[in-house]
Amino acid sequence: MKSTLFLFCFGFGLGHLVFTQDKTKESEQCPNGHCSDGEEHEKMKYTKKGNKWQKYLDLIEKANKNYKECSTDDCYRLQRRSDFKNWMERGISEELFVKAKERNIGVHYQVIDGKLYRQDHCIFESRCNGNEHFILKIIKHLPNMEFIINTHDWPKVRKWDENLPVFSFSKTPDERDILYPAWTFWEGGPAVWPIFPTGLGRWDLMSEALHKTAQKWTWDRKHSIAFFRGSRTSHERDPLILLSRDKPHIADARYTKNQSWRSKKDSLDMDPVEPVTMETHCHYKYLFNFRGVAASFRFKHLFLCKSLVFHVGKDWTEFFYGEMKPWVHFIPLSVDLKNIEELLEFARQNDEIAQQIMNRGHNFIIKHLRMTDIENYWLKTLKRYASLVKWEVKKDPKLKEILPKEDLS
Question: DSSP label at 248?
Answer: T
CA–CA gap between residue 282 and residue 196 (Å, rounded)? 17
Q: Does residue 48 carry a pLDDT above 80?
A: no
Question: DSSP label at 143?
Answer: P
Alpha-carbon distances, residue 43 vs 16, 50, 223, 241, 404 (angstroms) = 18, 8, 31, 38, 67
pLDDT of residue 189: 75
SS percent in the chain: helix, strand, coil, step 5: 40, 15, 45
pLDDT of residue 45: 47
pLDDT of residue 240: 98
Give the pLDDT mean for 293-313.
Answer: 96
Give the pLDDT mean for 313-333.
Answer: 98
Q: Quick one: residue 104, left, alpha or beta (phi over 0 = left, psi -120 to 50 = alpha)?
A: left
pLDDT of residue 50: 59
Burial category of 296 from C-beta neighbours within 10 Å (exposed 0-12, middle 13-18, buried 19 and up): buried
pLDDT of residue 264: 87
**Phi, psi angles (nearest 5°) of residue 123:** -65, -30
Distance from chain centroid for Cα 150: 20
Antiparallel, parallel or unpaired: β 178-179 and 167-168: parallel
Q: HSE-up of 145 (CA within 13 Å, CB side)? A: 22
pLDDT of residue 193: 67
Cα-Cα-Cα-Cα dihedral of 135, 144, 92, 371, to 10°? -20
Q: Which of 83, 153, 177, 373 is catalytic?
A: 153
Q: Does residue 18 carry a pLDDT above 60?
A: no
Can you name the CATH fold of 202-370? Rossmann fold (3.40.50)
Would residue 153 show up in a list of annotated catalytic residues for this protein? yes
CA–CA gap between residue 316 and residue 171 (Å, rounded)? 6
Residue 177: other Cβ atoms inside 10 A: 24
Q: Does residue 210 carry a pLDDT above 90?
A: yes
Q: Does residue 170 carry a pLDDT above 70?
A: yes
**Phi, psi angles (nearest 5°) of residue 351:** -60, -40
Bigger pLDDT: 92 vs 257: 92
Q: pLDDT-based confidence at 151, cuts 50/70/90?
A: very high
Sorted by where each begins, the domain ranges of the chain are 76-188+373-402, 202-370
Q: Does residue 212 carry a pLDDT above 90?
A: yes
What global pTM score does this model have?
A: 0.86
Alpha-carbon distances, residue 289 vs 124, 200, 277, 296, 325 (angstroms) = 25, 16, 15, 7, 14
Q: HSE-up of 287 (CA within 13 Å, CB side)? A: 31
Give the pLDDT mean for 308-317.
Answer: 97
pLDDT of residue 195: 75
Question: DSSP label at 158?
Answer: B
Give the pLDDT mean for 187-199.
Answer: 75
Bigger pLDDT: 343 vs 409: 343
pLDDT of residue 298: 93
pLDDT of residue 163: 95
Burial category of 106 from C-beta neighbours within 10 Å (exposed 0-12, middle 13-18, buried 19 and up): buried
The residue among 243, 209, 206 whose CA lies nearest residue 226 is 243
Give the pLDDT mean for 70-85.
Answer: 97
